Structure 1
Amino acid sequence: MLKSYDELRKIDVKPYCEKRDGLLYLNWAMCIDLLRKNGATKVYWEPIPNEKSGGSLRMSDAVFTDSKGNTNRCYETRIRVIIDDNEYEMQTPVMNGANPVKDNSMSQQRVWNSMCRAFVKCVAIHTGLGFDLWLKEEYDKMDAQIPETADNLVSSAKIKTLEKLCISHGIDLDAWICGNGRTRETLTEGEAAKMLNAIKKKYGDE
């Protein structure tokens, strides 16, 4: 039987990671191996085909053109993750690092990388294994935040990060936000960053 979320969250996956673009990444195969070593008897993932094309790549109808005439769309992949009796789905953008993939550089390898990243992220969200790697990535993004954006309304991604952390630590997120005179709809980027840092300092999340 697979260990609990809290138990898997405590596993230090850093020794099993590789470093790319200054960040640590857990390989999909190593992720499967770690899940099996911690109680899972069945772990795999499979692409969910695009209903229109039958292929693995999904795309928006809108085409974007940069100043050099290069075009791209919003490209994404969607996968189904199976862990024992549980099934999850995850949709993820196809990216070139932090940049969108342009049409002239799209490849099967980029599509594959997107699905692999989706698998590892889906596992982290639902099982806790490797979750702190993604948390660290979110913190790093906040540290690089331009000061002028602090008053902007918080993004849905940061709200989800706060929600996951609050659940794992038994915190009532809505009551906390309300105590600061805000709602989820009026919370700002700066306030969300302070809340994340408060959790980081109290519970040692990295």
Structure 2
Amino acid sequence: MLKPFNELVKLDVRPLCGLRDAKDERGNTVKVPYLGWANCVKLLHENGAESVWYAPRRCPETNSYLWPQAKVTTSKGRVTECWFVSVEIHIDENVFSYDMPLLNGSLVVYEDTLNQLRINNALARAFVKGVAVRTGLGFDLWAAGDGDDGEEDLSRHSIYAVKERLERLITSKEQGGLSHRDLLAQLGINDKQMATMMGWFDKLGSLEKAVSRL
């Protein structure tokens, strides 16, 4: 059985992290640690998990692994979608999903720049961060503000900051001994309803973009 959140969050994953170049708030190049998906799987097994795997979730609207959230127009007048990916994560009997934006540092991701490598990297990041939020493994990479999320898109920050805070609050409650099933029961909802509610953040993001274009 996988160790609880309060034990996994104490593990120092940095010795297994790689480093990538990023820009700080002053535009200087800095090295940011990231935990690769393979090392994440390895650490989960070493800490009690018997079965670990993830798979991309297909968007019913596009029939692909890309989830468009809103059309935006750049300062140069070029129109593009805000693309997300979503993964379904399996750790023994626990199954949950996690969404992640396609990031390219401070650059806009256009349709003609999408490729298998970029999508695969986004799926792997979604897996690693989803594991961190739910299990605590590698959580401190983001708690310290230096996790591998790419540069922040401030136009979506306020809405998705609330989503992130809610996900952390749910994790904290489950860490305190409340099972996921009991949490849903006390809220009076099921997993499908929870997923629908979490999807409201994406709809609000789309609404914000639509209003900004008026």
Using the size of structure 1 for normalisation, the TM-score is: 0.67
Structure 1 runs of 4+ aligned residues shifted over 6 Å read: none
Out of 118, 124, 145, the position equivalent to 1:110 is 118
Determine whether 1:66 maps to 2:71. Answer: no
Q: Measure how far apart 1:8 and its partner are.
A: 0.8
C-alpha distance in structure 2 between counterparts of 1:162 and 1:86, whole Å: 17
Offset at residue 95 of structure 1 (A) = 1.0
Cα separation, 2, equivalents of 1:39 and 1:131: 17
Q: Provide structure 2 residue ranges, at least 5 long, that are not aligned to the other structure.
A: 23-30, 153-157, 177-214
With 45-54 and 118-127 compared, the bigger mean Cα shift is at 45-54
Q: Distance in 2 between matches of 1:105 and 1:32?
A: 29
Q: Deviations over 1:119-152 (max 9, x none)?
A: 001100111100000111279x9xx9xxxxxxx9
| Inter-CA distance 122–159: structure 2 relative to 1 (3 Å threshold) | closer
Work out which of the residue numbers 118, 123, 128 in structure 1 matches 2:136: 128
Which of 38, 41, 52 aligns to 2:50? It is 41
SS in 1 for 2:75: coil
SS at match of 1:54: coil
1:14 is matched with 14
Where in structure 2 are the equivalents of 1:89-104 lying within 5 Å? 89-104=97-112
Q: Give % identity.
A: 35
Aligned partner of 2:85 among 77, 100, 107: 77
TM superposition shift of 1:164: 6.7
Higher RCO (Cα < 8 Å, 6 or more apart): 2
**Helix, strand or coil at the partner of 1:3:** coil
User: For 1:155 and 1:56, how far apart are their aligned partners in 2?
Assistant: 24
Q: How high is the TM-score relative to the length of structure 2?
A: 0.64
**Structure 1 alignment gaps of length 5 or more:** 145-151, 171-206
Between 129-138 and 7-16, report the one with greater CA deviation: 129-138
